[in-house]
Structures are given as C-alpha cells and as structure tokens.
Amino acid sequence: MDFEWVAIALGDVIWITLAFAFGFGARLMGQPPLVGFLATGFVLNYFGITSGEVLQKLADLGITLLLFTVGLKLNPKILLRPQVWAVTSLHMCGVIALFGAGIVTLALIGIPLFADLDYKMTLMLAFALSFSSTVFAVKALEEKAEMRSLHGRITIGILVMQDIVAVAFLAASTGSLPSPWAVLLLLLIPMRPLFLLVLQRTGHGELLILYGLVLALGGAELFELVGVKDDLGALVMGLIISNHAKANEMSKTILGFKNLFLVGFFLSIGMAGQLTPETFLIGVLLVPFVFVKSALFYTLMTRFLLRSRTALLATLSLSNYSEFGLIVVAMGVSSGWMEAQWLTVITIALSVSFAVAAPLSRRDDRIYSQHRRFFLSFQRKERLPDDQVLDIRNASIAVFGMGRVGTGTYDKMRELYGDTVVGVDFDAERVRQHVQAGRNVMRGTPNDADFWESVDDDQHFDLVLLALPTLPANIETLERLQEIDFKGRVAATARYPDEEDRLRDAGAHEVFNIYAEAGLGFASHVEATRATR
C-alpha cells in the first residue's frame, strides 16, 4: 500500500468533515451550505493548511461537470439575443471603465497595494473583476429549479458569453494559439447523431451516469489536447446532446456527483493565498463594487426590454465576482506584474461576494415584491413577447408546475372541470409541447408579484395546485399567496414526510406525498382495471 496516498486521503477527509460541519451550521442559520464551505477554507487557511491533491482534483472535476450540465440545459439560440450578447459586451466595457477609475482613485488616495499598480495592471484587475461566477449562478438557479426560466436562460447566456471572452483572453495573454489539430474539433458536429444514438440506448441506470462522465471528461481532455481550454470542451459536449429527450435525465443523474465535487472548489477558494489583516481588509473593500456591477446589469437589461422582475432576478444571480478573476491575477503574479498578495485579495473579495449574494439570490422574489414600485420605474412600456405578465383567461383552477406530476394533475382536473383549468410553467419549451398537445398551458411563475397584482376581483382562482419541482419553490409560492391574502384553497405536493409539515405550516390546506401515495394509486389502478374485465 502507498502510505503517501493514505496520508493525503486522511488529510482531505478531515477537511471534508469540517466542510460538512460548517455547511450544516450555515444551513441551520438559514444560509446556503456554500457559505459554510467558504468559511471552512478560510479557517483552514488561517491555520496554515493548504489544499491537498485529492481536494484539488475534486474541485477541477466539479467545474468540468458543472459546465457540462450547463451545456445540457443551454439553447444556443439564447446567445443570439441582444439581451445576452449586447448586455454582456456593454456591461463588460462599462465595468472595466468604472472599476478602472475606482482603482486609480484608490491608488491616488494611497491605499496599500493599489498604489503599486500601473495602467496595464489597473485594466487587468478591472477586467478580472468584471466577470460573474458561473459556479455560483448555476448552483443558485438549480436550487430554485429556475435554470429553464427566462431569467435563468438569460443569466446562463451571459455567463457563457463571458466564458468565451475568458478563453480568448487566456489564449491572447499566453501568446500561444490552439494547435492546428484544433480544426478537427469541428468533426464533433457531424458525429452528433452517433452521440445521440448511444445516449438513447444507455437506459436509465449506471450506464447513463458513466456516459455523462465520459462525455464531460472526454470532451475536456480532447479540447485540452489541441490547446483549447478544457472546460470549454465539457460545455460543448453538453451542447451537442442538449436537445435530446434524455438530456434532462442525464443532468439529474450526475447532479449529486457535481455537487459533491464542487465542495472541493469552494474549499480551495478559501485556502488560496496567504491571509493577512491587510489583504482581508482590501478584499472586503472591493465587495461593495459588486453593486456597481448589479446596477449596470439591471439598467442594461431593462433598456433591452426585459421586464423589471426578470432583470432583477437575473441581476442578483450575477451579483458576485468570478473564479476567473483568480486565474487572471495568478497570471499577473506569475509574470511578476503584481504582488502575490493580490491573489489573496481577490480570493477574499470572491468569497465575501458569494456570502453576500447567496441570501439576496434566495430572497430575490421577496426583494422584488417589497420594492416593486421602485423597480417598475425602470421598466419600459415595450417588452419582449416572451416576457409578458401571465393572463389567466378567467380560469378558476391553476396547476403550477407542468412536469409529470403536474401534467397528470392537469389532465384529471380538466376531465372533471373542463376549460376552467389552466396550467402554468416557466419552461418555454415545455409550454410549447403542452400547447401542441391541446392543453391550456401558459408560461409564468407562481411567485411573480406582477402576476398576482394583475389578478383582480373579477379574475381569481378558487383552487391552486402546486406541483413545483422543489420544496423551496412550493414554500415561496405559499408565502406569496399569504402575502396577497389569497382566499382560495391551496394543495401542494411533497416528496418526504418532513416536507408535509413544512408545507402545511406555510399555508397549504392539503398536501399530497407523491412517493407515499404512489403505491395506493397503483393498487387503485389495478383494482379498477380488474373491475372492468
């Protein structure tokens, strides 16, 4: 046995155990676990413990799987919308100009470290701070099951555009072009039918998981071999199979692996660099600049005809610094252009920006509803066709969440009550499929304050059925219904027994445990079938 590897593994086990303890503590305090993971890294950093080999491998694998799942859920057409490419371009130019001016001002004041930056390094630092974190935004959107919502797709599109700029910058700064063999990567396009054929025949078990890992890791390795950023390879492989019927299932099967490996990423951030009081204070000083980015994002999105709520939700997901900033600063340090302390400064700024953005992102709808009139003042009268307030068309029964459970619920309720039933889902593609199947389904979300504001006394629901994919989404909707003093009945779905009490406490009149009741439904179906024979 190789005892050196045993020592490495034991060291990483200790770190992961501490990560669990801090992550659990963060959850008990109402914060997302990632805040606890970041705190773990800083505590270990304070005691002089650096990232181990196993932990770093986990972090790299987590980023690769993250970008692969982003590709699985990304529609390339979203990148062609001006709300994505134009907003990204204008925002990046504006942030570099504003942050550059701010950094020069701090240098003139005589703030340590800033005073030593020349013009070139000022622009590089401003460029590094202009990016938003793909890891944070995707994780926040996935926790709320909003990846396929309009604001989720806009957010992911902007992040992909930023990643493209990052790849171009890294290629230019290193002075090395991709290998001539990189042109062969175009062969992946005609090979797409083969990838889809294999995906169709992998089934629903461990082969599906392994195939996802093969595509993600194989794509990353293939791109790296020809001198292209490896993470881009994972993203491209996800895009290649993104419109297949099993792409969403594959994303769900590797979700647990991705989340586990990303723990290593959050730990490694806090453990990077040498922490000192000076670097900590300067890093914290950079955090308020995040809200300059936020204000510019929100202004640009509303100017490009996005509804105020859509713009705010996308903005809050992007209100942070990016791990790409660490890469840029590391290049500056290795080239001797910047002091090594800058790596720790950016690490602090990145981590604290995550801690600040996490509760804002989780409470985005509540923030919008509480300050709705202020945000509406930025909204233009003209809006995009796919970003309008939902019209319920005088329906009296609404099913929110048109997945498998919601679809079955809708069909049964429509059989009983006819055209008074309406289905609502935020996934535009899913809505289109339901409409083609003859269902009365519209795109929208149940926690949209603009929607409930538009529901007057002559247009209301008697019954709301919540079949949303996550417990937080159901809880947030129930809280919204209580805020508007909803008079009808509300029923919600649960997956686990402990969720039933939380849903009732939040205001649900009836709770249906889809797992516990599955056996009863199966038995009833069999008996009904026997009775008809």
User: What DSSP string runs through 76-141?
Assistant: GGGGGSHHHHHHHHHHHHHHHHHHHHHHHHHHHHT-TTGGG--HHHHHHHHHHHT---HHHHHHHH
Buried b (16+ CB within 10 A) or exposed e, 111-130: eebbeebeeebbbbbbbbbb
Strand ranges (E), 364-462: 397-400, 421-425, 441-443
Give the alpha-carbon dihedral of 298, 301, 306, 311, to 10 degrees. Answer: -30
Give this prediction's pTM: 0.75
What's the fold here for domain 3-376?
Answer: Na+/H+ antiporter like fold (1.20.1530)
Return the biggest CA–CA distance within the chain: 89
Q: So where are the chain's domains?
A: 3-376, 397-531
Dist. CA 533–CA 524, nearest whole Å: 15
- Quick check: 274 and 349 in contact, CB under 8 A? no
Number of H helices, E strands in the chain: 25, 6
- Quick check: 188 and 229 in contact, CB under 8 A? no
Nearest Cα residue to 48 out of 348, 275, 280, 263: 275
Question: Which two tokens mark 495?
Answer: 């997956």
Q: Rounded to an integer, what is the distance from CA 426 to the centroid of its chain?
A: 15
Which pLDDT does position 92 carry in this prediction? 94
Which pLDDT does position 517 carry in this prediction? 64
- Residue by residue, pLDDT tens for the chain (533 residues) are 444 444 444 455 677 788 888 888 887 876 777 778 878 887 877 777 766 666 777 778 887 887 788 788 777 788 888 989 999 999 999 999 999 998 888 888 887 788 778 888 888 889 989 999 887 888 888 777 777 788 888 998 898 888 778 777 766 665 566 778 888 888 888 898 999 898 888 887 788 888 888 898 888 888 888 877 777 788 888 888 887 878 878 887 887 777 777 777 777 776 766 677 888 888 888 999 999 999 999 999 999 989 898 899 999 999 999 877 777 777 777 667 777 788 788 888 888 898 888 888 888 888 888 888 899 888 888 877 766 666 666 778 888 888 888 888 888 888 888 888 888 887 777 888 888 888 888 877 777 776 666 655 445 678 888 888 778 788 888 887 887 777 888 888 888 888 888 888 888 888 888 766 666 666 665 666 665 55
Which pLDDT does position 8 carry in this prediction? 46
Which pLDDT does position 97 carry in this prediction? 93
Question: Which two tokens mark 49?
Answer: 């413990």
- Quick check: 2 and 332 in contact, CB under 8 A? no
Name the architecture of domain 397-531.
3-Layer(aba) Sandwich (3.40)
Which pLDDT does position 292 carry in this prediction? 93
